[in-house]
Amino acid sequence: MPTIPKHLDLPSRDLTIYLLQEEITEDQVVAKLTGCTEHRIAVGRSTGRLFAKAVRNNAGPKWAALFEDEVDRAALGLVASVSAVFLIRTSGRLFALTFGAGRFLLDDDWFEERFGFYAVLNLVDANQIRSVDKRSLDAIGRQTRVQTTRGATVRDFGVDYERDLLRAVVGTPREEDLGTRVVGATALHASVHIDLANLQRLLAKYYDQSRSHSYRRKFPGIDQLRPVTDENQILRLDGRVIQALNDRWPSQTLSTGNTSACLGMRVFETRPITTN
């Protein structure tokens, strides 16, 4: 019989991983986590910081009401939920792993957008996509989740790169030690056999995958549409839209400002298809 890979001896865990933007400092994040209990956690030769916050109430968790005729609620505990954030630095970058509702302890603006999305595109084979979330850029702006019972290509999900913006992808990594199931959007959600001793190695691999452009060979055209969140770039694109509209209808002059908001649009950028 084949030898069981060593990583499968470790417990399987569901991780939610955010990559923080380079300009976001650890002190800035810690300042936001006031009211949490901090624990210093040894991770190899490094130290991570775990921040936990319990929501307590006299009634306990909501699900306890189902059993209240048979069991005293206090016997089931008075902690309704526990949220946690684990900060760890690797590959020169700061990562935040969130547990429970820990994601809501952080600011949305701190996250590296599409970190998980690009990591998953590089982690999986082109024909091993299990689910996609897409938004159509038509008058309705439909948001759709399409799933399959087996691996498929992006095209099998009816994705039109010129009309659909992919928001999230789900697949099975080629390498078992990188997870049995991964979901990529802003965060990377991974079901993976892991322990603290190997956590930084795992995060470093995920980071490398998120930075690679190899996905362009497997999914040509997938970058043709992408959301723009950088305010300076939005202003530049607004200016180009205004100029084009003024050139087309010179009698209806528009001025600079929050044009995208006035037009009820979210800003997107089109890019030429490349496989480099």
Does the structure show a pLDDT above 60 at 268? Answer: no
Tell me what pLDDT residue 179 has: 94
Does the structure show a pLDDT above 70 at 168? Answer: yes
* H-helix or E-strand spanning residue 178: none
Over 14-65, what HEC string results?
EEEEEEECCCCCHHHHHHHCCCCEEEEEEECCEEEEEEEEEEECCCCCHHHH
Tell me what pLDDT residue 257 has: 52
Name which of 93-97, 140-144, 211-215, 235-239 the model is least confident about: 140-144
Does the structure show a pLDDT above 50 at 191? Answer: yes
51-82 burial: b if 16+ Cβ within 10 Å, else e: bbbeeeeeebeeebeeeeeeeeeeeeeeebee
Tell me what pLDDT residue 254 has: 60
> Is residue 268 within 8 Å of residue 137, measured between CB atoms?
yes
Backbone phi, then psi, for 150, in 5-degree steps? -145, 170
Does the structure show a pLDDT above 90 at 10? Answer: no
Q: Residue range 132-137: average pLDDT?
A: 79
Could you tell me which residue, 63 or 123, shows the higher pLDDT? 123
Going by pLDDT thresholds of 50, 70 and 90, the confidence category of residue 229 is low
Tell me what pLDDT residue 273 has: 46
Tell me what pLDDT residue 1 has: 35
Tell me what pLDDT residue 219 has: 81
Tell me what pLDDT residue 240 has: 83
Percentage, residues of the chain above pLDDT 70: 82
Going by pLDDT thresholds of 50, 70 and 90, the confidence category of residue 7 is low
Does the structure show a pLDDT above 70 at 5? Answer: no
Could you tell me which residue, 250 or 191, shows the higher pLDDT? 191
> Is residue 24 within 8 Å of residue 110, measured between CB atoms?
yes
Q: Residue range 78-90: average pLDDT?
A: 87
Going by pLDDT thresholds of 50, 70 and 90, the confidence category of residue 144 is confident
> Is residue 103 within 8 Å of residue 16, measured between CB atoms?
yes
Going by pLDDT thresholds of 50, 70 and 90, the confidence category of residue 265 is very low
Which residue from 213, 176, 214 is spatially nearest to 192, judged by alpha carbons? 176
Mean pLDDT score of the chain: 82
Going by pLDDT thresholds of 50, 70 and 90, the confidence category of residue 25 is very high
Backbone phi, then psi, for 99, in 5-degree steps? -135, 145
Could you tell me which residue, 36 or 136, shows the higher pLDDT? 36
Name which of 10-14, 46-50, 228-232 the model is least confident about: 228-232
Kindly state the tokens that stand for 197.
Answer: 């001793």
Name which of 33-37, 193-197, 214-218 the model is least confident about: 214-218
Tell me what pLDDT residue 253 has: 61
